[in-house]
């Protein structure tokens, strides 16, 4: 049995997230249908993570198994012909048989975009703010994330994970246009809804409703109710997933 990683991107606007849903279209199901059609066999696809409804991916990685050697360029080309315009496959790579798209990922990177101007050309991919925020204070608060590993305060309640511990590797805001800012966060893993809850709480700091020390207390309380609300999903992008070199054939 040969295992392959698929590197893909998608606009999440028309999907109920990555994961298969009983009553809505998902990216995972759409990809599985295209693969199964092309390979004429029932193919299961396992993703590196689960993006929520409306969230986008500039780079998602998933794996699948097939009982024959495949020409990876042909698979890439055929999938792109079968998939809808809002899902694109960049590459298919042969990996070791026990390589796992989710469990072997060493980091994941997300970006969240905000804009302070009404702009019809970014409205689908950035969250509009109606006041200017104190991004310096937000960056000071973001730095406190490195001091902790338990992020229960930013997790969706009642999830099936065994631990709420994550190791944050990057967390910062930067200006990317006259009226646009982007928050980049990288960690070994993320909890359900975590990035949107972190951004929502940092925005409270930027609005002056929460101090940097207050942000620290939110983390320490390990209580979702103490954190800010989750920001909208349409401005969130999964942009990178990292793997050790030895997984690739």
Q: Known catalytic residues? A: 52
Report the 10 Å Cβ neighbour count for 21. Answer: 14
CB 53 within 8 A of CB 15: yes
CA distance 219 to 217: 5
Both tokens assigned to 150: 């338990």
Rounded Cα gap, residues 161 and 206, in angstroms = 31
Both tokens of 42, joined, read 């029932």
In the numeric block, which tokens belong to residue 5?
């990683």
The residues, any chain, with a CB within 8 Å of residue 176's CB and separated by 6 or more, are 113, 182
**Count of other CB atoms within 10 angstroms of residue 76:** 18
């Amino acid at each position: 049995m040969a295992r392959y990683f698929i590197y893909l991107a998608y606009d999440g606007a028309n999907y109920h997230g990555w994961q298969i849903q009983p009553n809505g279209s998902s990216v995972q199901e759409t990809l599985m249908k295209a693969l199964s059609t092309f390979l004429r066999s029932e193919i299961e696809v396992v993703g590196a993570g689960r993006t929520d409804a409306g969230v986008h991916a500039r780079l998602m990685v998933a794996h699948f198994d097939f009982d024959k050697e495949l020409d990876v360029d042909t698979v890439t080309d055929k999938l792109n012909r079968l998939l809808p315009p809002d899902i694109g496959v960049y590459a298919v790579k042969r990996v070791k048989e026990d390589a796992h798209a989710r469990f072997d990922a060493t980091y994941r990177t997300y970006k969240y975009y905000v804009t302070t101007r009404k702009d019809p050309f970014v409205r689908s991919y950035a969250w509009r703010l109606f006041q200017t925020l104190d991004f310096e204070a937000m960056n000071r608060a973001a730095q406190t994330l490195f001091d902790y590993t338990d992020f229960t305060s930013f997790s969706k309640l009642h999830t099936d994970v065994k631990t709420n511990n994550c190791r944050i590797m990057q967390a910062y805001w930067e200006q990317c246009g006259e009226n646009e800012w982007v928050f980049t966060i990288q960690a070994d893993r993320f909890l359900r809804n975590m990035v949107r809850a972190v951004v929502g709480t940092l925005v409270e700091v930027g609005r002056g409703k929460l101090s940097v020390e207050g942000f620290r207390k939110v983390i320490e309380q390990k209580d979702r109710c103490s954190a800010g609300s989750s920001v909208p999903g349409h401005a969130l992008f999964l942009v990178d997933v990292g793997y050790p070199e030895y997984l690739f054939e």
